[in-house]
Structure 1
Amino acid sequence: MSFDQIIAVDWSSSSTPSSAKPVANAIYVGLKVRGQPVDMQYFRTRLSAMDAICAMLNRAQDAGSRVLVGFDFGFGYPQGFAQALTGQSSALGVWDWLAERIEDGPDNKNNRFEVADQINRALDSIGPFWGCPRGAETDALRQRGSERDPRQFPERRTVEALTSSAQPMWKLYTPGSVGGQSLVGLPMLAKLRVRYGGGITVWPFETGFAKPATNIVLAEIYPSLFDATLRMGDDGTIFDVLDARQVRAVCEAFENAELDALFGAGFDQTTDAKAAQIASEEGWILGVRKQKTDGDSLTPPPLGNDCFAMPQGVSWTPVDQALDQLKKRVRAVTATETIAVKDAVGRYLASDVFAQRANPPHANCAVDGYGFSADAILEGPNELPVVMGRAAAGAPFSGAVPKGHAIRILTGAVVPIGVDTVVLEEDCTVEADEQGQPIRIAFHGGLRKGANTRKAGEDVMKGDVMLRASRKITPADAAFLTAGGISDIDVRAPLRVAVISTGDELVEAGSTARAGRIFDANRPMLLSMITAWGFEPVDMGIIRDDPDALKAALDEAAKSADVILTSGGASAGDEDHVSKLLQSSGSLAWWRIAVKPGRPLALAMWGGVPVFGLPGNPVAAFVCTAIFARPAMICLAGGDFAAPQAVTVPAGFSKRKKEGRREFLRARLRNGVAEVFASEGSGRIGGLSWAEGLVELPDEAQDITLGTPVLYIPFSSLGL
């Protein structure tokens, strides 16, 4: 049975009432009654919001309706916290503990920072909670997370590894800090449980990963999982604030969800040993599926059909504005999976990675030599007796070195107790016994304390963020992560990019090109670019100028890929079936970008997959793909949207450029100056082969002479 009503709540931990006009980071409550548009309400305080929610629940009870109530803050804490705080591994025990101590007034004034400080002190540590206004900082509650003691608990819950942008429960301050919202929200949920008794169930704490049976179900939600790009509601209401759009998206997504799959979250409770611990202590976000070994993984919701829509009245769009629009509209669409670090090079991180071990784990020696305490050393000549034994990498010295003595120590060895400084072997005169064992050394002083040693954790401390989500893993990263004790990481699945060439005039290379036919050069070029960027190319071949054949190809591409690139057929001519079909989907947006080479770029959604309709001319297709599609696809793949890096060099050419369009010229560097290809024609493919980069000329008019500074983008900065 589905729910009759969905209530979704975007919460706030503000210490003062929100403004009278709806703003971000306030409280929004959406009510979706089956078959009706979402009723959105804005609240300035938590108590007024809870009064309204209780009124909704009372009406639902009177009507015998089944209600799902979702709040967008964490319901549980990372493993071990509940036991340490309350003596039992139960998240609901933490709710009751907080309900006895959190004070929250009708004006939103609350004592969450004082309670967090109390918890930190009870755990006898600086942390785990952190973040507070100036003046609220104490010796146990700090403003920065980096000032905490070594972590007693994991930084994130299991579910948060699958939702890379989710904030940790320990962070209490600044917008989006879910930890503060939970501290003031969980006590109110505890009171809801008391108020509705056996008529309310908290998932998964009281049900495990099974479908709840009561008429009122409380669950944790994460609105950022859902597409909130559409501003207009079903009834024509405009939602300007992102928070409100996200609440509406949650209500609509859950109204017709298949409940067994939704509440099961991908867990098999009979075989998954960790499921019980998560279900009782950490909790889970409704709508997130656990990563399975059989390939099932968390896949973000698709982009909205209107995500590429340009504002009304826009004619020609400057390049920078077009790139900014793409940056705002696209986000990761690939699934999350867990793989070994050694296999992750070239993949994008799906979540932050925290060091499991300090590197180096112990203070160690950087050279072969003799170690001692610097406090026993004089400025001039020194003589020290050498203790029996030695310290070597993998074979540490088990005792302590007395002050005024030295020990033989080799590169990589753990620095023994009593040693803080090492002198190089070649800077010593060594006296040995009959067996060749050193018994005394002589050397000149002047060494600084700590010389020739490496401090424990000087590279990274346990619990530190090693790499942030969205980073593309490099071979150096693999070494760094491994040194920090990381063997497996959460990464994005490779972005699959389908390429379709259209046109009756195109034939495959290797076949006979009759009169009026040309070889398809664009598709090999685009497939090669996709491969160079680390994406998975999906070759859809050449599609003739036939609407049915093209529709079938687009349908197949949408099933096989995360992004579709088409070349040709995206104008307004009789045989431009790409644009006509995309228009039929109701999502086509013509981006008339002020760029040369190029022309309007067709952007659309087909079967939930973004489509880039590229020009048919090879040079224009290359430039539009490199400048516009590449950064967007990197973002879709899970990386950060980034423009190519350019360098300023002297021009080795002359040109009078007109105002109004950004121009990209095929170029290469010779003797420190930029040469450009003799022709600017978009069909001159040889110019791309000749070039080693692009010269980028600004939108404004410019007279370029020999030596004029120009921007040069090497193909290497485009990943080519």
Structure 2
Amino acid sequence: MMFDTVIVVDWSGGNDRGAKPVKDAIWACVARAGVTEAPVYLRTRQVAEAWIGDLIQAERAAGRRVMVGFDFPFGYPQGFAQAVAGSNDPLTLWDWFVARIEDGPKTNNRFDVAGAINLALGAKGPFWGNGLQRDVDGLPRTKTGYENPFAERRKAEILAKGAFAVWQLSGAGSVGSQALMGLPVLARLRHRFGDDLAVWPFQQLEAGIALVEVWPSLIAPEIAAQAQADEIKDAAQVRVLAQALSALSPAQLAAMLADGDAQEGWILGLGHEDALRGALRTDDPVPPPLSNDCFALPPGVAWTPVDDALDLLQERLTPVARVETVTVQQALGRVLAAPVTSLRSNPPRPNTAVDGYGFAGARDTGVHVLPLVAGRAAAGGDFDGAVPAGHAVRVLTGAVLPAGVDTVVLQEDVTVDGGRIAFNGPVKAGANSRRAGEDVAAGEVILQQGRRLTAADLALLAAVGVGAVQTFAALRVGVLSTGDELAEAGSDAGETQIFDANRPMLLGLLTRLGHEAVDLGRVNDDRVALAKALDAAQVDAILTSGGASAGDEDHVSALLRDAGAMALWRIAVKPGRPLALGMWNGTPVFGLPGNPVAAMVCTLVFAAPALGLLAGVGWQAPQGFMVPAGFEKSKKPGRREYLRARMRDGVAEVFRSEGSGRISGLSWAEGLVELPDGALTVKHGDPVLFIPWGGFGL
């Protein structure tokens, strides 16, 4: 009863809606194990039929069972199929429609077919709702004078409150045209896949492909609640319903499939709405919140060395991001919340690395002549039979090695003469072939928890059959600027104001670090306004700039202190020093200096690895390397210093001024030179530690 892949399709009886995704068109969504891919817009029925058929074929080739749900009736009230197609079998009626419905991107004959059916039945019905400008013989525009020789609704439509009758062809909510234009497509899919496809509830679902009737309105409130901002309703419907159906337990799905009417059809999930809603609820774990004293300094600490500050952060912070399961296609840049184990070996079976000829065993020095067996082995197929000892077979790159073959000689090294090949030895046993699992063995841990997934990781996951992984949701980090002196870039700033350079810089840094950067705007030096801004922030962590010291207008540190969870870290670092760390309503706040140079340095040195811990990626110390100095400098003991620097001609150059107000130096630089805490004299050529921006994770 279980299906590996669920596809939900929102159908349309209308014509081509154009290349731009729009509402009231055809939309589809693929889901596996409760995880959805992005909804797909399909502009015409022709495009949709090809896309669905090819997707089903690909899924079956991958060994997955597929359930495809369409949101239009699969059947009609009892008696209609017999009256029109001469059989009570609804699938016979589907084929009857195939022979009569004409469909193109811009026009179709559905209204004419419906009118002809009405006339053949000798009544002013059952169909109504001519949506064309011209009159259609036998098809009324409204129900005035309408006569229906059959029941107005199927049993399913009586139970599904709000469902429309299949007889209405146009107007708001009508589904009659969707059925007339959709059933021929389903009939063609049946013939394309033959016995590997079954239609519920008309047939037993023992095949690899199941077609089922769905109705997203069964869970309309849940769809509305989970619709994303500006998401087209049809896209939300297929996405949420596909997620719910694919997340059902075997017992829940079996209970739904036990219902139905073998003549009229049935809506999957009707009467089981609670199970569908429950499938949308996630039990993914939520990490515990940080304690309010996680930033508290030990008693008696005044000036904190950089290494001590980093050790305290590493010791006291833990992940706060929620765990969720996503598909491999959605996982780029996500952080793994659990180790990943390969589901099968790569390669899964021994195969050839080149085009050539395969045989068994090594061959010594000299000329070797082997008779060829009939046929060949190619990628994606199995060679029928085994290759006898002393014989060879044609093999193509990527082909599974046939039984009796473990060695391959390149085709460039072979002469083919009729049914024989000749080549020179020596050839080692196993040459030009790949062993099963020589790259990755089934059951092997391939990626560890805390890894931020790269494009190469996605290739590895896909190669070993992993379709979904547990990850931490992207850490949402808010950025808030404070200060009366700030003006928005591009605005008319007053003579006493400066432009806010910190916010765009910090938002950019967070994005490059792999987090979801949230712009919280800027507030004046107003404690009430600042509290409101912090209260309204729906984020996992907050970076503020300005107001982090102990002066009269340092409202960030004052607010955190009043909240009972603030530590003013006077760090022995240049540029920087004051770093206000605290908790606001359970959310960690990093109060950065207002100076842009100090704000950037403190973000990279302190906030970046701390945010990595909160995001689940773990503590990541910056990676640098020793290079010759292209400058001279004497420094006093007591503070660690970071100089804006770049590499030129094999040496590290530093910016002409160490002034922390020189923002141009940040743009000029390609990284930082780190000088240790103690006294130091640097001369040209002395080794210094250079950390490029990439070494900080940018």
Give the TM-score taking structure 1 as reference length: 0.58
Q: Tell me which residue corresponds to 1:453.
A: 433
Q: Which amino acid aligns with 2:290?
A: L
8 A Cα contact 2:549 2:568, kept in partner: no
How many residue pairs are counted as aligned between the two chains? 432
Q: Tell me which residue corresponds to 1:327.
A: 314
Q: Which amino acid aligns with 1:706?
A: H
* Matches of 1:538 and 1:644, distance apart in 2: 24
Aligned partner of residue 328 in structure 1, secondary structure: helix
Q: Give, in angstroms, the shift of residue 319 of structure 1.
A: 1.4
Q: Tell me which residue corresponds to 1:699.
A: 677
Q: Tell me which residue corresponds to 1:633.
A: 611
Of 368, 378, 382, 1:392 maps to 378
Q: Give, in angstroms, the shift of residue 295 of structure 1.
A: 6.7
Q: Give, in angstroms, the shift of residue 507 of structure 1.
A: 0.9
Of 335, 346, 371, 1:359 maps to 346
Provide Cα deviations, 1:432-466, integer angstroms capped at 9, x if missing partner.
2xxxxxx1111112221111001101111111111
Query: Are 1:657 and 2:644 an aligned pair?
Result: no
* Matches of 1:537 and 1:323, distance apart in 2: 23
Provide Cα deviations, 1:475-507, integer angstroms capped at 9, x if missing partner.
000000000101111111111111111111111
Query: Are 1:402 and 2:388 an aligned pair?
Result: yes
Q: Are the structure 2 counterparts of residues 313 and 506 from structure 1 closer, same or farther at C-alpha, using a change threshold of 3 Å?
A: same
Q: Tell me which residue corresponds to 2:666.
A: 688
Q: Are the structure 2 counterparts of residues 294 and 273 from structure 1 closer, same or farther at C-alpha, using a change threshold of 3 Å?
A: closer
- The within-5 A match list for 1:6-155 is none
Q: Tell me which residue corresponds to 2:121.
A: none
Q: Are the structure 2 counterparts of residues 275 and 708 from structure 1 closer, same or farther at C-alpha, using a change threshold of 3 Å?
A: farther
8 A Cα contact 1:291 1:337, kept in partner: no
Q: Are the structure 2 counterparts of residues 670 and 586 from structure 1 closer, same or farther at C-alpha, using a change threshold of 3 Å?
A: same
Q: Are the structure 2 counterparts of residues 618 and 295 from structure 1 closer, same or farther at C-alpha, using a change threshold of 3 Å?
A: farther
Query: Are 1:273 and 2:249 an aligned pair?
Result: yes
Query: Are 1:501 and 2:477 an aligned pair?
Result: no
Query: Are 1:513 and 2:500 an aligned pair?
Result: no
Q: Give, in angstroms, the shift of residue 379 of structure 1.
A: 2.7
Q: Tell me which residue corresponds to 1:492.
A: 472
Provide Cα deviations, 1:205-249, integer angstroms capped at 9, x if missing partner.
xxxxxxxxxxxxxxxxxxxxxxxxxxxxxxxxxxxxxxxxxxxxx
Q: Tell me which residue corresponds to 2:585.
A: 607
Q: Which amino acid aligns with 1:273?
A: S
Report runs of 4+ in structure 1 exceeding 3 Å deviation: 274-277, 290-297
Q: Tell me which residue corresponds to 2:102.
A: none
Query: Are 1:427 and 2:427 an aligned pair?
Result: no
Q: Tell me which residue corresponds to 1:302.
A: 289
Q: Tell me which residue corresponds to 1:473.
A: 453
Aligned partner of residue 374 in structure 1, secondary structure: coil
Give the TM-score taking structure 2 as reference length: 0.60
Query: Are 1:545 and 2:521 an aligned pair?
Result: no
Q: Tell me which residue corresponds to 1:441.
A: 421
Q: Which amino acid aligns with 2:404?
A: G
8 A Cα contact 2:342 2:443, kept in partner: yes
Task: Give unmatched runs, 5+ long, in structure 2.
Answer: 1-243, 254-276
Q: Tell me which residue corresponds to 1:411.
A: 397
* Matches of 1:717 and 1:454, distance apart in 2: 37
* Matches of 2:481 and 2:600, distance apart in 1: 14
Query: Are 1:585 and 2:563 an aligned pair?
Result: yes
Q: Give, in angstroms, the shift of residue 272 of structure 1.
A: 4.3
* Matches of 1:491 and 1:416, distance apart in 2: 40
* Matches of 1:707 and 1:547, distance apart in 2: 51
Provide Cα deviations, 1:4-62, integer angstroms capped at 9, x if missing partner.
xxxxxxxxxxxxxxxxxxxxxxxxxxxxxxxxxxxxxxxxxxxxxxxxxxxxxxxxxxx
* Matches of 1:506 and 1:301, distance apart in 2: 37
Q: Tell me which residue corresponds to 1:214.
A: none
Provide Cα deviations, 1:594-650, integer angstroms capped at 9, x if missing partner.
111001211101111110010011100000001110111111111021111101111
With 317-326 and 446-455 compared, the bigger mean Cα shift is at 317-326
Q: Give, in angstroms, the shift of residue 378 of structure 1.
A: 3.1
Q: Are the structure 2 counterparts of residues 292 and 626 from structure 1 closer, same or farther at C-alpha, using a change threshold of 3 Å?
A: farther
Q: Tell me which residue corresponds to 1:170.
A: none
Q: Which amino acid aligns with 2:576?
A: G
Q: Tell me which residue corresponds to 2:511.
A: 531
* Matches of 2:609 and 2:668, distance apart in 1: 24
Of 569, 576, 598, 1:620 maps to 598
Q: Tell me which residue corresponds to 2:103.
A: none
Of 298, 319, 332, 1:345 maps to 332
Q: Give, in angstroms, the shift of residue 332 of structure 1.
A: 1.1
- The within-5 A match list for 1:144-183 is none
Aligned partner of residue 382 in structure 1, secondary structure: strand
Q: Which amino acid aligns with 2:249?
A: A
Q: Give, in angstroms, the shift of residue 531 of structure 1.
A: 1.4
* Matches of 1:581 and 1:385, distance apart in 2: 87
* Matches of 1:680 and 1:579, distance apart in 2: 27
Query: Are 1:383 and 2:363 an aligned pair?
Result: no
* Matches of 2:278 and 2:471, distance apart in 1: 11
* Matches of 1:531 and 1:634, distance apart in 2: 13
Q: Give, in angstroms, the shift of residue 293 of structure 1.
A: 3.5
Q: Tell me which residue corresponds to 1:317.
A: 304
Aligned partner of residue 301 in structure 1, secondary structure: coil
Q: Are the structure 2 counterparts of residues 491 and 506 from structure 1 closer, same or farther at C-alpha, using a change threshold of 3 Å?
A: same
* Matches of 1:695 and 1:373, distance apart in 2: 60
Q: Which amino acid aligns with 1:393?
A: A
8 A Cα contact 1:654 1:706, kept in partner: yes
8 A Cα contact 1:317 1:591, kept in partner: yes
8 A Cα contact 1:495 1:637, kept in partner: yes
Q: Tell me which residue corresponds to 2:542.
A: 564
Q: Which amino acid aligns with 2:579?
A: L
Q: Are the structure 2 counterparts of residues 272 and 428 from structure 1 closer, same or farther at C-alpha, using a change threshold of 3 Å?
A: closer
Provide Cα deviations, 1:136-192, integer angstroms capped at 9, x if missing partner.
xxxxxxxxxxxxxxxxxxxxxxxxxxxxxxxxxxxxxxxxxxxxxxxxxxxxxxxxx
Q: Give, in angstroms, the shift of residue 340 of structure 1.
A: 1.1
Aligned partner of residue 602 in structure 1, secondary structure: strand
Q: Tell me which residue corresponds to 1:669.
A: 647
Greater Rg by CA:
2
Q: Give, in angstroms, the shift of residue 275 of structure 1.
A: 8.3
Q: Tell me which residue corresponds to 1:14.
A: none
Q: Give, in angstroms, the shift of residue 585 of structure 1.
A: 1.4
8 A Cα contact 2:557 2:568, kept in partner: no
Provide Cα deviations, 1:231-272, integer angstroms capped at 9, x if missing partner.
xxxxxxxxxxxxxxxxxxxxxxxxxxxxxxxxxxxxx99x94
Q: Tell me which residue corresponds to 1:202.
A: none
Aligned partner of residue 635 in structure 1, secondary structure: helix
Q: Give, in angstroms, the shift of residue 414 of structure 1.
A: 0.2
Q: Give, in angstroms, the shift of residue 276 of structure 1.
A: 9.3
Aligned partner of residue 717 in structure 1, secondary structure: helix
Aligned partner of residue 335 in structure 2, secondary structure: coil
Q: Give, in angstroms, the shift of residue 336 of structure 1.
A: 1.2
* Matches of 2:278 and 2:437, distance apart in 1: 32
The two structures, once aligned, show a CA RMSD in angstroms of: 2.1
* Matches of 1:378 and 1:621, distance apart in 2: 70
* Matches of 2:600 and 2:453, distance apart in 1: 26
* Matches of 2:426 and 2:303, distance apart in 1: 70
8 A Cα contact 1:522 1:621, kept in partner: yes
8 A Cα contact 1:420 1:453, kept in partner: yes
What percent of counterpart residues are identical?
Answer: 61
* Matches of 1:273 and 1:482, distance apart in 2: 25
Q: Tell me which residue corresponds to 2:463.
A: 483
